[in-house]
Amino acid sequence: MRFQLSFKSGKPVYLQLVDQVKAAAASGAMRPGEPLPSIRPLAEELRVNRNTVAKAYAELESQRVIETVAGKGCFIRATSSPFKKDVRLKLLASEIDEAVVEAHHLQIARPDFLRLAEDRFDAFQDKRARAGNP
Amino acid sequence: MKLMSPETPVIEIKNLVRRYGRTDAVNGLNLRVEAGRCYGFFGRNGAGKTTTIKCLLNLLRPTTGEAKLFGLSPARHEVSVKSRLAYVPDQVAFYPWMTVRDTLDYCASFRAHWNRDTEGALVGQFRLDTRQKTSHLSKGQRTQLALITAICPEPELLVLDEPTSGLDPIVRREFIQTVIGAYQEGEPGRRTVFVSTHLISEFEGLIDEFTIIEAGRDVLTLQADVARERYQKIYARFETEPAGIDLAGARVLRQQGREIELVVNGNAGDVLDRLKARSPETLTAEALSLEEIFVTTLQPEGAVA
């Protein structure tokens, strides 16, 4: 797992780590059961505060993306969400709203937007297939 | 010794004033560092950083105001305060006739606790020859040795005053990685770092809160994540020159024909909406780095970044 941090995105650094682990899990770059790097070497490598990495891992754990095994470290969980489907849809809707607003300002019409969404699904599916994790 | 409650800040400075003759080196400074933080203390040369640190370490007495460590006065409780902290100054000096080994043993003799494993690991990592006399060490090696003597006692507070100035990029990188790795090992909640520097970008990832000091006063104190969210640089390009556009609340860095470059502080959404209303060809916003925030804060209004 390689992380790319940017201090220019305006997004808190711990959230960048959270999002990248979630994207890696969704694309199959990291599979269920695979370990995440431990906090100290990762913090040293990225030259960020250990608290930042610890906070990201705590957030991933509360979102049930990873699990901590005492004495062994953190591992990617098999996909499962503690929320019911309607709650999950609502959570996703707010993310989509942001994309819809952006699309409006970038003058991307609805059919193009929907086609792009399909393309992105395909892209992730391809990545997962190539990662040998259909 | 008074016990420290969890809320007692590790460093608390209230209205600190320190004069040298007629010069006010520090002139009404306030700041507060909670336990477990990595706190940046940023200022230009002569802003009062080192004078402040000297007041904390009881190397100087405040003219007025107070500087407390662990809730205690560093003058009245000098020994108990100093046993809980370590300090790496800008200019490191050791007894020149001592070897690296002698120096480590000498420093350890003043400490109640000294982690020999950490010492061995860091000496190896920095490839220091323990038989070498300290007078034969390079500036980088002297700083590395100072860092080892600061980390091995596992103090609650690590005070770094311009620690990486004058070091080569590889040594700087190792220095910061050592602070993250070896120092924060163990109980991160009881490992506080206070770093004064003007090489801000090096410490960007490590800092979680900072104060900018100018002319002896704190001019800005923020959490790093909040700062990066609040300060944004916006670039917009329009099809034609946007006549009469309302840029209130933004600082214009450059406005030239069809292009505008701005810095906003906390009102990015509002300014972006006004720009979007003019249908720009291109519109981007990115966070300022802590270094850029430092420059923006200290630059006179209207100056170009």
The pLDDT assigned to B1 comes to: 47
Among the partner residues A40, A47, A54, nearest to B176 by beta-carbon distance? A47
**A57 pLDDT more than 90:** yes
* All residues at 6 or more sequence positions from B69 whose CB lies less than 8 Å from its CB, including other chains: B10, B11, B56, B81, B84, B85, B157
**B304 pLDDT more than 50:** no
Q: Which residue of chain B has the CA closest to A16? A: B225
Three-state SS at B217: strand
Q: Are A124 and A99 in the same domain? A: yes
Distance, CA of B190 to CA of B85 (rounded, Å): 11
Alpha-helix residue ranges (DSSP H) falling in B111-167 = 116-125, 139-151
How far off is chain A from B238, nearest CA to CA, in Å? 13
Cβ-count burial A8-29 (b if 16+ within 10 Å, e if not)? eebbbbbebbbebbbebbebbb
**A50 pLDDT more than 60:** yes
Lowest-pLDDT range, A17-21, A30-34, A59-63, B297-301? B297-301
In a domain, A103, yes or no: yes
Which residue, A30, A51, A76, sits at the end of a domain? A76
B177 at interface of A, judged by CB pairs closer than 8 A: yes
Q: Are A46 and A95 in the same domain? A: no
Lowest-pLDDT range, B153-157, B163-167, B212-216, B231-235? B163-167
Q: Are A31 and A62 in the same domain? A: yes
**Ordered structural domains, chain B, with CATH:** 11-215 (3.40.50.300), 227-298 (3.30.70)
Distance, CA of B43 to CA of B52 (rounded, Å): 11
Return the residue in A15, A39, A50 with the most chain B beta carbons within 10 A, the one to mutate for interface testing: A50
Q: Are A72 and A94 in the same domain? A: no
The pLDDT assigned to A28 comes to: 79
Bridge partners for B262 per DSSP = B234, B252
Q: Are A48 and A67 in the same domain? A: yes
In a domain, A6, yes or no: no
The pLDDT assigned to B196 comes to: 94
Three-state SS at A77: coil
In a domain, A69, yes or no: yes
Chain B residues whose beta carbon lies within 8 Å of the beta carbon of residue A10? 228-229, 232, 285-287
Q: Are A25 and A58 in the same domain? A: yes
How far off is chain B from A125, nearest CA to CA, in Å? 30
In a domain, A101, yes or no: yes
Strand order in the sheet with B259-265: B250-256, B259-265, B231-237, B282-287
The pLDDT assigned to B92 comes to: 86
**How many C-beta neighbours within 10 Å does residue B35 have?**
20
**B245 pLDDT more than 90:** no
In a domain, A3, yes or no: no
Distance, CA of B284 to CA of A105 (rounded, Å): 12
Distance, CA of B69 to CA of B84 (rounded, Å): 9
- At B163-181, the pLDDT tens digits run 888 788 888 888 888 888 8
Which residue, A76, A95, A112, sits at the end of a domain? A76
Angle in degrees, CA A82, A61, A52, rounded to 5 = 145
- At A82-95, the pLDDT tens digits run 666 777 788 888 88
Q: Which residue of chain A has the CA closest to B291? A: A7
B219 at interface of A, judged by CB pairs closer than 8 A: no
Give burial (CB, 10 Å; 0-12/13-18/19+) of A131. middle
Query: Would you place residue B188 in the very low, low, confident or very high pLDDT band (cuts 50, 70, 90)?
Result: low
What CATH number is associated with residue A25?
1.10.10.10
Q: For residue A93, give its domain range.
A: 85-130
**What is the percentage of chain B residues whose pLDDT exceeds 70?**
96
Measuring CA to CA, which residue among B234, B221, B222 is closest to residue B267? B234
Q: Are A72 and A124 in the same domain? A: no
In a domain, A113, yes or no: yes
Inter-chain residue contact B180 with A44, CB threshold 8 Å: yes
Q: Are A23 and A61 in the same domain? A: yes
**How many C-beta neighbours within 10 Å does residue B238 have?**
19
pTM of the model: 0.83
In a domain, A4, yes or no: no
- At B134-151, the pLDDT tens digits run 999 998 999 999 999 999
**A122 pLDDT more than 70:** yes
The pLDDT assigned to A128 comes to: 80
Q: Are A57 and A19 in the same domain? A: yes
- At A89-115, the pLDDT tens digits run 888 888 888 888 888 888 889 999 999
Distance, CA of B41 to CA of B167 (rounded, Å): 19
Total domains, chain A: 2
Q: Are A17 and A56 in the same domain? A: yes
Query: Would you place residue A132 in the very low, low, confident or very high pLDDT band (cuts 50, 70, 90)?
Result: low
B129 at interface of A, judged by CB pairs closer than 8 A: no
Q: Are A90 and A52 in the same domain? A: no
Cα–Cα distances in angstroms (integers) from residue B155 to residues B6, B123, B126, B150, B152, in the given order: 17, 19, 21, 8, 8
The pLDDT assigned to A83 comes to: 66
Q: Are A125 and A99 in the same domain? A: yes
In a domain, A95, yes or no: yes
* All residues at 6 or more sequence positions from B202 whose CB lies less than 8 Å from its CB, including other chains: B164, B172, B176
